[in-house]
Structure 1
Amino acid sequence: MLAKRIIPCLDVDHGRVKKGVNFVHLTDVGDPVAIAAAYEKQGADELVFLDITATNEKRPAIVDTIEKVAAQVFMPLTVGGGIHTVADMQRLLKAGADKVAVNSQAVRDPSLISKGAEKFGAQCIVLAIDSKWDPAKQRYTVYVNGGRQATDLDVIEWAKQGVAAGAGELMVTSMDKDGTKSGFDIPLYQKLTVAVNVPIIASGGCGKLTDFNDVFKQTDVDAALAASVFHFGELTIPDVKAALKKDGVTVR
């Protein structure tokens, strides 16, 4: 059995780490370079850096900040935000990213996934999906532009399509759970892990140690991503790994 990964996430807005609830009400958390260095010391398995306003503001991700973050960490670094072309991917990989996360532009042009996978390898392309439950349609709906805009795509079907196009990993955020600290969206990940055969990162809703245990024991996700609980010092990565080991979950 592969070891489960614990991944902190830096949501970066104009060079500062921010954290909100349900994708709104953002609070300033601090400098991404300093925070990344702290997670390196704590023994995080990977780090995700998302330029959360790049797409909405129609600008590329902030490469200079990414270079500084990459210089602080030796763990794999996934970077997303403002990726519209293969050239954008190349720029981020050159800045120090190990993987690139595509979201809004991939929805508009799924060939971006296959072009990226052909050039850099599927292991390099992470399809990020922002998901929200639609009670009227009784399904999970895909949102784009930093969660601001609904699409007519079903999350499970889009996940299948993205993997078929060449995505080597999925990072799926529950907008309903984001920042609420009420636990991961277990039914969402149960459906996803049955639908596709690539690694899945669960994101959104982590609030306590048992939430990590629940998502790993009740679903087949490969990694759990969290922000608030780590940023505000409520949990540390060593705390999480020790608790998971005690509960029989294999971690690095």
Structure 2
Amino acid sequence: MQNKRIIPCLDVKNGQVVKGINFKGLTKVGDPVELAERYCKQGADELVFLDITATNEGRKTMVEVVKKTAEKVTIPFTVGGGIATIEEMKTILKAGADKVSLNSAAVRNKKLIEEGAYKFGSQSIVLAVDAKRRQDKTGWNVLINGGRIDTGIDLLKWIEECYKLGAGEILLTSMDADGTKSGFDIELTKIVSDFVDIPVIASGGCGKLEDFKEVFEEGKADAALAASLFHYGELTVGDVKKYLKANGISVNKGYDK
């Protein structure tokens, strides 16, 4: 069994890490490069940066963030948000990112996944999916534009299609759990983890140490992503890894003593 990964997420706007709920009420948290260094020292396995402005100017800012981060950290990191062309993927990867995350752009042009996987390798292509349970409880739909637009696309059909196109990993966010701090959506995570044989990163709803254990043991996730818990110092990555290790869950070494 592969070791479980802990991944802090940094939402970047105008060169600063911000945090809010569904991109509303955003407050500045800190400098992305400094936070990246901190989490690297704490033992984070990877990092995820999301450019939430994703305008042309925001993209230029993000490239600089990527370059500076690549100089400072020794762990892989993924960059997403507004990446809509092969050229933009190339720019981000060339700047030092290890992976690119595709969400809304992939829904609008699924060839991006296929072309990106062909050009850069499946290991560089992360399919980010925002999922929301349908009102009739028959499954989940795919949402885009930061969870504001329901595409009506069935989650599992979409994941299957993108897996066949070459996506190498899934960043799965539960829109129902996101921002609630009531725990990851275990049912959703388990269904997706059982459905595909590529790694699944669980996102949305983490509020305490026990949530990490639950999403690995019951949700069968390969990695867990969190933001506020780490940004506001409620927990360190080391705290999470020590807890998991004490509870019999395999994690990578490297956390602070």
**TM-score range with shorter-chain normalisation?**
over 0.9
2:169 corresponds to which letter in structure 1?
A: E
2:46 corresponds to which letter in structure 1?
A: E
Aligned to 2:53: 53
Whether 1:11 aligns to 2:4 is no
Aligned to 2:113: 113
Where 1:36 maps in the other structure, the secondary structure is helix
User: Which stretch of structure 1 is more off in the superposition, 176-185 or 3-12?
Assistant: 176-185
Structure 1 position 98, deviation (Å): 0.4
1:101 corresponds to which letter in structure 2?
A: S
Whether 1:244 aligns to 2:240 is no
CA–CA distance in structure 2, aligned partners of residues 52 and 205 of structure 1 = 19
Whether 1:103 aligns to 2:103 is yes
Residue pairs, 1:14-93, within 5 angstroms: 14-54=14-54, 57=55, 61=59, 62-93=62-93
- Assess if the C-alpha contact under 8 Å between 1:19 and 1:179 holds in 2: no
Q: TM-score, normalised by structure 2?
A: 0.93
Specify whether residues 196 and 156 from structure 1 end up closer, same or farther in structure 2 by C-alpha distance, changes over 3 A only: same
CA–CA distance in structure 1, aligned partners of residues 148 and 18 of structure 2 = 17
- The structure 1 segments of at least 4 consecutive aligned residues displaced by more than 4 Å after TM superposition are 57-60
- Assess if the C-alpha contact under 8 Å between 1:47 and 1:77 holds in 2: yes
Aligned to 1:161: 161
1:84 corresponds to which letter in structure 2?
A: A
Structure 1 position 84, deviation (Å): 1.1
Structure 1 position 59, deviation (Å): 6.4
Aligned to 1:226: 226
Aligned to 1:215: 215
Structure 1 position 60, deviation (Å): 6.3
How many residue pairs end up in the alignment? Answer: 250
Where 2:8 maps in the other structure, the secondary structure is strand
Structure 1 position 78, deviation (Å): 0.5
- Assess if the C-alpha contact under 8 Å between 1:179 and 1:228 holds in 2: no
- Assess if the C-alpha contact under 8 Å between 1:78 and 1:98 holds in 2: yes
Where 1:69 maps in the other structure, the secondary structure is helix
Structure 1 position 24, deviation (Å): 2.9
- Assess if the C-alpha contact under 8 Å between 1:40 and 1:72 holds in 2: no
Specify whether residues 59 and 175 from structure 1 end up closer, same or farther in structure 2 by C-alpha distance, changes over 3 A only: farther
Structure 1 position 181, deviation (Å): 1.0
Unaligned runs of 5+ in 2: 253-257
Structure 1 position 30, deviation (Å): 1.4
Aligned to 1:123: 123
- Assess if the C-alpha contact under 8 Å between 2:117 and 2:166 holds in 1: yes
Aligned to 2:133: 133
Specify whether residues 161 and 58 from structure 1 end up closer, same or farther in structure 2 by C-alpha distance, changes over 3 A only: farther
Aligned to 2:255: none
- Assess if the C-alpha contact under 8 Å between 1:60 and 1:88 holds in 2: no
Structure 1 position 189, deviation (Å): 0.6
- Assess if the C-alpha contact under 8 Å between 2:140 and 2:155 holds in 1: yes
User: Which stretch of structure 1 is more off in the superposition, 29-38 or 200-209?
Assistant: 29-38
Where 1:41 maps in the other structure, the secondary structure is helix
1:223 corresponds to which letter in structure 2?
A: A
Where 1:29 maps in the other structure, the secondary structure is strand
CA–CA distance in structure 2, aligned partners of residues 242 and 145 of structure 1 = 36
Q: TM-score, normalised by structure 1?
A: 0.95
The CA RMSD over aligned residues, in Å, is 1.4
